[in-house]
Each structure stands twice: as C-alpha cells, then as structure tokens.
Structure 1
Amino acid sequence: MEQDYVNAQIGKRIRDLRNRKGLTQQELADRAELTKGFISQLERGQVSPSVVTLLDLIECLGTTASDFFKEAVEEQIVFTEEGFFEKVDEGGNSIQWIVPTAQKYQMEPLLVVMQPHQSLDEDKPHDGEEFGYVISGKLNVYLGDQVYHVKSGESFYYPAKRKHHIENPGNRPAKFIWVSTPPTF
C-alpha cells in the first residue's frame, strides 16, 4: 500500500513538471529513451521506475533530485483574526500583526488603534519605507522636523531615512493600517 502511494506521488510530480515544461508524454518519452506507454503508466502511479530511470526523467525535466523531492509547502494567502498577534502598550495603544509570519516577507502590515493624545515610540532612521491608511480618527506623522496631519480616509507614505513617529492628537482613538518594508518590528 505504501509503495502505491509513493508511485502515485512520483507520477503526479512527473506529470506536473512535464506539463509546466509544455511537453507531451511522447516528447518526454523520446528525451528519456522510454515509451509513451511507460510515461503514461508512471504518471498514473501504475509502475515504479528504477532509480536510474527516475533520475534520468528528473534531468530531462530540467530539475534536480533534491528539488524534485522537496515537499511542496502550501503558502498561506488568507489570514484571520484568530491568527493575529496583538501587543498593547502602557498607553493602551493596540498593535496587531495582521499577517503573523510577515517578518519573512518584504513588508509587514499592522492594524493600529491609538488612544487619544498618545504617541508611538520614535523610530530612528532605517532602510525601507512606511505607508499608512487612516481608517478613523486623525494622526500627526512626524518625519524629521516636519509634521504632517493625516485624517480618516487619507494615507501617508515616506522613506524611513529620517527619524519619525506617529501620534494621535485627537480626542478619539485613531485606527490605521501601517505597512513597513522591510519589517523592523
């Protein structure tokens, strides 16, 4: 039973690679000096290739044995609240990492709820860029010696080469999406 599963997985990977390369079964068979019937049976998991034959097929398909046998990891596309990580600071400001594994990517989106008259810690100059979209409330964005006023429905974007920080000057909480690249939090 185990052998049938292995044969089916090998056959599926051969078929997927062949299709990605735009080859017919006959073209792959010709390159590997095999028959079309053998390729067909292999792709359906009905036969078990010898190690030499399998390595030859892998080479004909333009890949390596290590890449061929790597487990395909399903990349997560949708993230739900259950997976969010939240930090609440001393001022009651909530920062939620809305893509929990974002540190491995090139940008890190956060959902921030800032309490009235609160400020987030000042960031020192660093490589990268920062973007924000204000969902509700208003913010002051301090960039170097400049102050920019941003209200609900507006966005901000800046290279992070100067010291910067964000504050809520209003009497209500401010909610905004904040994206940094590369992730620095």
Structure 2
Amino acid sequence: MDTVNVGNQITKFRNEKGYSMRKLAELGEITPSMLSQIERGLANPSIQTLKILSKVLEVPIFYFFLEEQTTDSLITRKDEHKKMIVKDLSYELLSPDLAGELETVIMRVPSGVVSSSEPIGHKGEEIAYVLSGKINLYLDNKLYSLDSGDSVKIPAYMVHKWENIEEEEAKVIFSVTPPTF
C-alpha cells in the first residue's frame, strides 16, 4: 500500500472550505510556514495538530489518512460488472467495488424462483426498485405485489424475501448500506 500524503488531504479540505493557507494556519494555531511544509509533505504534523485541523476543517481526523481515489476507478463498464449466482438468482454489482458505504446491485429473479425459504433480515438499510416484471415481496411477513416502477425502502434487520410467480423474469435494482454483496 502506498503511503497516504496527509498534506495533500489537508490541502484538499482547506480548499474545499475556501481557506487560504494563512487563515488555516491562524485557525489551527500553527505557523504558515509549518502548514506549508505539512501540505508539501516536508513535515509531519503531530496528532494534536491533526486534531485541531480536523476540528477547524470540520472533517473526522481519519479523513486525512484516506487514500485518494482516481476518477477512473469509479467507472465500471457494462461488461466489467462483477456477477454472482446463488441458486437461481443472479446478482450484478453495479458499484465498482465494495469499498465505501453503499453498493448497488441488479437482482434477476427468474419465473418461479424465491430468494430464500424464509424471510431474512440483514444489517443494511435497502432501497429497491423494480426495473421490469412483477414480483412479490414479503416484508415483515406481509405480502406486497410490486410492478415495474414500484420501489420500497427496507429498514435494517427487517425480514424480507422476494418471489417471482409470474411467467417473465423480474429485475430489481437495489442499493444497500453498508455493502453486503
């Protein structure tokens, strides 16, 4: 793993706040020359300095240690989606990866297939949208029939299962946080 440049992160958050280097140094109770050295990677800030800067910049201290992401890594081409088949269900991950707080998946449910024998719950909150077809959703043991264009919010740990009793495949896109794929 590459070393994270804390100075670059401080510069990024300083610019987002619209602070000059001199203003941040004043608010952070350090000299402008010290802040300049930190931002250029020539000096390492103390933990106390990072605490103060995180408070002034209104970001959690661990944000200074996050690796920078290139925009290229945010794009997933249609033929590069990760796919998983569980029994007769297929899942296609639309998110580039499982990093971060959110994932989005297309679930394909063939005719006559149910997602699980019993409704199950999971840690993540979920929003689902029926892309095509019709599908039954058992939500907290109550049956709902959803048509193309319908959507649902499923709170964390609420038990649910999907069932396709129609002749055609149903496609459901869902986003869940945190990722569970």
TM over 0.5: yes
Quote the offset at 1:101 in angstroms: 1.8
Structure with greater proportional helix content = 1
* Residue 70 of structure 1: how far off its partner (Å): 6.1
1:105 is matched with which residue: 97, 100, 105?
A: 100
Residue 21 and residue 151 in structure 1: after superposition, are their counterparts in 2 closer, same or farther (change >3 A)? closer
14-23 vs 157-166, which deviates more? 14-23
Q: 2:129 aligns with which of 133, 139, 142?
A: 133
Gaps of 5+ in 1: 1-8
Q: How many residues align?
A: 161
Task: Report the equivalent of 1:169.
Answer: 165
User: Cα gap change, 1:130/1:114 in structure 2, threshold over 3 Å: closer, same or farther?
Assistant: same
The residue number in structure 2 matching 1:23 is 20
Normalising by the residue count of structure 1, what TM-score does the alignment of the two structures yield?
0.61
1:144 aligns with 2:136: no
- What secondary structure does 2:74 align onto? coil
Please provide the CA RMSD for this pair. 4.3
Distance 1:123 1:105, change over 3 A: farther
* Partner-residue secondary structure (3-state), 2:69: coil
Match of 1:4 in 2: none
Alpha-carbon spacing, 1:114–1:33, altered in 2? closer, same or farther (3 Å): closer
Secondary structure (helix, strand or coil) at the match of 2:143 reads: strand
Give TM-score scaled by structure 2 length. 0.62
1:54-89: CA deviation from partner (whole Å, max 9, x where unpaired)? 879xx6xx759xx9x968522543322243111123
Q: Give me the identity figure in percent.
A: 25
Unaligned 5+ runs, structure 2? 55-61
For residue 81 of structure 1, give the secondary structure of its aligned residue in structure 2.
coil
> Highest CA radius of gyration, 1 or 2?
1
What are the within-5 Å matches in structure 2 for residues 1-185 of structure 1? 19=15, 22-23=19-20, 32=31, 72-74=67-69, 76-91=73-88, 93-102=89-98, 104-121=99-116, 122-185=118-181
